[in-house]
Structure 1
Amino acid sequence: MGLASILTLVVFAAPFFLSRSDGFDVLDPNGNITIKWDVMAGYGDKYDAKVWIFNYQLFRHIELPGWRLSFKWPEDEVIWNMQGAEATLQGNCSRFTGFRPHSCEKKPVLIDLLPAAPFKLRSANCCKGGVLSTHNQNPDTYGASFELTVGVGTTSDAVPFPIPDNFTLGVPGYTCSPPFNVTPSKYSEDSGRRWTQAISTWEVTCVYSQFRAWPTPRCCVSLSSFYDSTIVPCPKCSCNCQGLPGARCVNPGETPPILQLPHGTLQEPTPVVRCSQHMCPVRVHWHVKQSYREYWRAKLTITNMNFAKNYTQWNIVMQHPNLQNITQVFSFNYHPLNQHGTINDTGMFWGIQFYNDMLLQSGDYGNVQTEILLNKDPKMFTFSEGWAFPRKISFNGEQCVMPSLEDYPRLPKTSATTTAASTGDGLWIVTILVTLAIVSGL
């Protein structure tokens, strides 16, 4: 391999390794979850705080079982009461007589209330079960907040409003910064005619690393086309290998275990997948379906092979050189992610609310699919050399394992001169066979 080839390989691979090990994602360089701690009022040995959690990531969301915010108090502070969230443990409050605090834990774990929580326990922007959507998918649910009254104890006289440290989100893959002081938040009252201000505001930023979240990938990609009868499967052992410790799977004809989490459970279940050569919980399939004179059509299918989980508010992020020429997307939402301001080759797909925004656990209905119509740009379009296939795909922000470039479907030798002027609906028999194979499972 020459020096030029090595440099090309390093440049191509660098974003992948950075996104996995350093928590940096080139497709979402500024993405983070921000925790904001507003000190609202102080009186005696207590103060009131309002805590916000905002998801500023473009395509990575917090799904069930939701966030579990934890931190460490500097001294012997306690939480007297809460609105909009609750501590999982009250802890040892034996030093108090009469009315006892909500939590005396040195390192409390706070969770969001469920949607059915009583009105007297609620606060604004609470009660989503810890779920935070992306702003693109649902701008109404990308943030959460709750209120608490902090007892500052007897050893915090020098710090009237002690702020906790060592924040964690309780979601795999996230690492949080120490709290830092920022400009106090302002709040609107009386329909915007009056503004009040927090006494002080502290922020914590949490960033995600797929490498820290999971020891192995969680999804893979398979490919097919109308001009080649070959179906390129997910690479073998993409996520695990059959027979290895912990590689539980269900063979055809076996009764899968009932492992779907009951509502309110706080731990994510270990995947139990349909037995396959790739052993991934999720498979994404891209099929080049048809070619017209000025357009071409592709089909995107997402299959949940995990018997232990439904995926709510799922999304797919894709890099493809022809996404800037999307004409129509059927039955999915689509939003371009042009982060670099030059080439619009990245986009985000997600389901339509109340229709296909939930990807059900493995079974007859455990898949969602769409077809995409794209315009043929005469300056760049070709079916040659695997150009019509995605360069990178992620599911719910998790980078999927792609097949090797040399395995991509190829044009027949007799069609090697196919260009942007390709016409016709030919090879429909191949398309039918490919579709049947996809439905039956690769």
Structure 2
Amino acid sequence: MMNFDGDEEAKDTYDFQDNMEFCIEAKSFDPLDPTGNVTIRWDIMSWTSDGYLATVTLFNFQLYRNIMNPGWTLGWTWAKKEIIWAMMGAQATEQGNCAKFKLKIPHSCKRNPEVVDLLPGAPFNMQFNNCCRGGVLTSWGQNPSGAVSAFQIGVGLSGTSNKTVKLPKNFKLLGPGPGYSCGPAKIVPSTAILTDDRRRKMQALMSWNVTCTYSQFLASKNPSCCVSLSSFYSDKVTGCPACACGCQNNDTCVTRDSKILQENVTSLHQKSDITPKPLLQCTHHLCHVRVHWHVKDNYKDYWRVKIAIINFNYRLNFTDWSLVVQHPNLNNVTQVYSFEYMPLLPYESINDTGMFYGLKYYNDLLMEAGPKGNVQSEVLMKKDKNTFTLKQGWAFPRRVYFNGDECMLPPPDLYPMLPNTAHKLPTSIMLEAAYMVFTLFFHLVVILF
């Protein structure tokens, strides 16, 4: 049995989606999720004496990219001299200069406010529908109900009609880090929003959308994960490429027996609302995560792959993680053990991509680096006899994404290859062959004697 623990070698939502406009720039285009985006919808529900009351909703329409802890931060610049009188379900990170207000103090007077979701357990009178998850959003493909976040905002000094209200500008969406770029706000047909009891629809007085797309290139110049490979027919293990995730931080990594780990073990997760600086295990690749793909068995009509995901970051748990794999035989997945699985269909005629993710309350949490910092599964696939082969690395994945970021694969010329001589047969086929030889020998003995 192989050791994967170290690095030895190393719609409900208001019929809205049909009407949204996608803004996909070339630099953020994802061939496995070509229409994936985060859409912010701003619905004015009523007018006030000097402004309006609005519901702001974030939809994570990305098929497999979550927004992890510490969650989203939404920012914009007011078009005039607007202020935020009050909020429910979220809060501005800064109040700004409200000195000119004497009787009633606004929630925020910043010209360019930034807003964050409330944490779980927020006071009941501050909560709003789909709020209070610390800004964490699951992907639309993994869990649509967890991919929506909303808050209510009372805006003043803004105008009190569709003609006098001006759309905010310069929207920006920050997740756990950079990577998202947002287009301009665009007025759309007014939304019909269901009431809390879901028995009545309320028509918004005015609505606009903002579309934000993710670019791995903007997020980081280096990948955050890599892929290693092995197979039953070869003793060779193809590890992650050296410096696969950059070597600029190799002076800050730690070994597994480092005293730093023992001194900080009790304080690694004290501030769950703040992303801690990475504390990576020293490896030759310096990646946060390594995905290992092992071709385990070859049967007559099926073949089996073992997948392991290993976390090398001592300061980060991956909650609701996702793994996306592109391989031509994923159109014939028969059984997946220990993981959930969902096919992804970016194009109608191709079904070669699937998403793996953890079972709820079992392995949906990938622990920080250490003995428990890995999750494993096996996948049984039915052979397509017209295409299946073990030659030339066909059995290994074409693309691998972890938590929405593409992982670096080894060069194809380093893949474990079949022996030049007779193919090494797996145990199941060898036993079948031995049984046939024994049966033939038994019949010969009976005939001769």
Q: How far apart are the structure 1 equivalents of 2:164 and 2:56?
A: 18
Q: CA deviation at 1:375?
A: 1.0
Q: Is the 8 A contact 1:323 1:374 kept in 2?
A: yes
Of all paired residues, the percent bearing the same amino acid is: 46
Letter in structure 2 aligned against 1:163: L
Q: 1:424 to 1:142 in 2, by over 3 A?
A: farther
- CA gap 1:363/1:375 in 2 versus in 1, 3 angstroms: same
| Structure 2 spans left out of the alignment, 5+ residues | 1-23, 433-449
Q: How many residues align?
A: 402
**Which amino acid in the other structure matches residue 145 of structure 1?**
A
C-alpha distance in structure 1 between counterparts of 2:300 and 2:41, whole Å: 54
Go from structure 1 to structure 2 and tell me whether the alpha carbon gap of 1:287 and 1:425 turns closer, same or farther (over 3 Å shift).
Answer: farther
Q: Please, what is the CA RMSD of the aligned residues?
A: 2.3
Q: CA deviation at 1:98?
A: 1.9
* Amino acid across the alignment from 1:358: L
**What is the TM-score when the length of structure 1 is the normalising length?**
0.86
- Please tell me the residue identity of whatever aligns with 1:102: H
Match in the other structure for 2:240: 234
Residues 291 and 424 of structure 1 are in contact (CA less than 8 Å); yes or no, is this contact kept in structure 2? no
- Give the superposition deviation at 1:339: 1.3
Mapped contact 1:71–1:107 kept (Cα < 8 A): yes
> Which residue does 1:352 correspond to in 2?
359
> Considering only CA atoms, is the larger Rg found in Structure 1 or Structure 2?
2
SS in 2 for 1:61: coil
2:378 corresponds to 1:371? yes
1:250 match: 254
CA contact (8 A) 1:152 1:162 kept: no
1:27 to 32, 50, 60: 32
Q: C-alpha distance in 1, partners of 2:307/2:166?
A: 52
CA distance in structure 2 between the aligned counterparts of 1:187 and 1:233, rounded to whole angstroms: 52
Specify the code of the residue in structure 2 equivalent to 1:233: G
Residues 202, 324 of structure 1: alpha-carbon distance in 2 compared, 3 angstrom cutoff? same
> After superposition, where does 1:269-348 map in structure 2 within 5 Å?
269-348=276-355
The SS at the match of 1:97 is: coil
Please list the CA deviations of residues 410-440 of structure 1 after superposition, one character each: whole Å capped at 9, or x if unmatched: 1112235989xx93479xxxxxxxxxxxxxx
Mapped partners of 1:126, 1:182: distance in 2: 24
1:384–1:141 Cα change, 3 Å:
same
Segments of structure 1 that go 5 or more residues without pairing to the other structure are: 1-18, 427-442
One-letter code of the match for 1:262? Q
Contact 1:292–1:424 (CA<8 Å) still a contact in 2?
no
Instruction: Please say which of residues 27-36 and 269-278 is displaced more in the overlay.
Output: 269-278
Per-residue deviation, residues 373-401 of structure 1 (Å, max 9, x unmatched):
11122111111111111111010110100
Moved more, 248-257 or 372-381: 248-257
Deviation, 1:215, is: 2.0
Where does residue 13 of structure 2 map in the other structure? none
Distance of aligned partners of 1:124 and 1:232 in 2 relative to their CA distance in 1, 3 Å threshold: same
User: Separation in 2 of the partners of 1:425 and 1:361?
Assistant: 41
Aligned AA for 1:317? V
Q: 1:200 aligns with which of 197, 200, 206?
A: 206
Describe the shift of the 1:389–1:415 C-alpha distance in structure 2 as closer, same or farther (beyond 3 A): farther
Between 65-74 and 190-199, the greater mean CA deviation after superposition: 190-199
TM-score by length of 2: 0.85
